[in-house]
């Protein structure tokens, strides 16, 4: 019997659907992903589902546990600390680098702020999370370092998950204006070349969201420890 390989379009669509559900909090962190039930929900074969799970595992959203199968990644407090430590190091260095660039080199950062403002006006969680991440990705890109870009990418998917966890828990997409203003202020300080003030703004921004993420993760850990 000849087995037909899953089509790339089915894998891509299925991965996009499951990714969106995970990032929106519809599929909870730590939840086992049962093949038969999930394949039926996504209307794909089990073979295609396995390919979908491999895609999301490569992105850091799904993990395979020996003898237990796949489950949604459960970020821990230590993960949050690590993610924000890496962000602080990379983005602070990017602010210093940006100060030595010509004014016209900042266009991609300005465009990133506008995408965030557009997403805020649409009150769309998916777009808001992606635009928020896109701003910080654009800031990191100022360094023009292949190795640091790769390092940022290694945390990017879990950072997207972290953004979604906080945004969903706080329903930030319903009143996103303060988030946009924080990024606009950071943008303006970076563009003006005020390195100390920009670093202070970045530090405050990261500390605020790290603290909130840790609080939400601790709530999730406590819920998982409660007896059924």
DSSP codes, the chain: -PPPPPPHHHHHHHHHHHHHHHHTTSS-TT-B--HHHHHHHHT--HHHHHHHHHHHHHTTSEEEETTTEEEE----HHHHHHHHHHHHHHHHHHHHHHTTS-GGGGHHHHHHHHHHHHHHHHT-HHHHHHHHHHHHHHHHHTT--HHHHHHHHHHHHHHHHHHHHHHHHHTGGGS-HHHHHHHHHHHHHHHHT-HHHHHHHHHHHHHHHHHHHHHHHHHHHHHHHS--
pLDDT cut 70: percent of the chain above it: 93
Residues 75-89: pLDDT tens digits?
889 999 999 999 999
Residues 49-80: pLDDT tens digits?
999 999 998 877 888 888 788 998 888 899 99
Domains in the chain, CATH or no CATH each: 8-72 (1.10.10.10), 77-225 (1.20.120.530)
Global confidence as pTM = 0.77
pLDDT the model gives residue 31: 83
Low-confidence ranges of the chain (pLDDT < 50): 1-5
pLDDT the model gives residue 2: 39
| Cα–Cα dist 179/68, whole Å | 39
pLDDT the model gives residue 135: 95
pLDDT the model gives residue 6: 54
């Amino acid at each position: 019997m000849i087995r037909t390989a899953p089509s790339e379009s089915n894998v891509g669509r299925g991965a996009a659907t499951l990714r969106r559900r995970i990032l929106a909090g519809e599929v909870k962190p730590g939840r086992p992903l049962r093949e038969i039930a999930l394949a039926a929900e996504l209307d794909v074969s089990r073979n295609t589902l396995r390919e979908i799970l491999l895609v999301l595992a490569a992105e850091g959203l799904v993990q395979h546990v020996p003898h237990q199968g796949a489950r949604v990644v459960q970020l821990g407090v230590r993960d949050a600390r690590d993610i924000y430590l890496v962000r602080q190091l990379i983005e602070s260095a990017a602010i210093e680098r940006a100060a030595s660039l010509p004014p016209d080199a900042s266009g991609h950062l300005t465009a990133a702020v506008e995408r965030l403002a557009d997403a805020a006006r649409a009150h769309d969680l998916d777009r808001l999370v992606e635009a928020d991440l896109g701003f910080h990705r654009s800031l990191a890109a100022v360094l023009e370092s292949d190795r640091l870009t790769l390092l940022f990418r290694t945390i990017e998917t879990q950072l997207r998950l972290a953004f979604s966890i906080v945004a969903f828990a706080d329903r930030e997409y319903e009143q996103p204006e303060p988030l946009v203003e924080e990024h606009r202020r950071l943008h303006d300080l970076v563009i003006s070349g005020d390195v100390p003030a920009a670093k202070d703004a970045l530090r405050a921004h990261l500390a605020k969201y790290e603290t909130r993420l840790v609080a939400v993760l601790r709530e999730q850990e406590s819920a998982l420890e409660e007896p059924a």
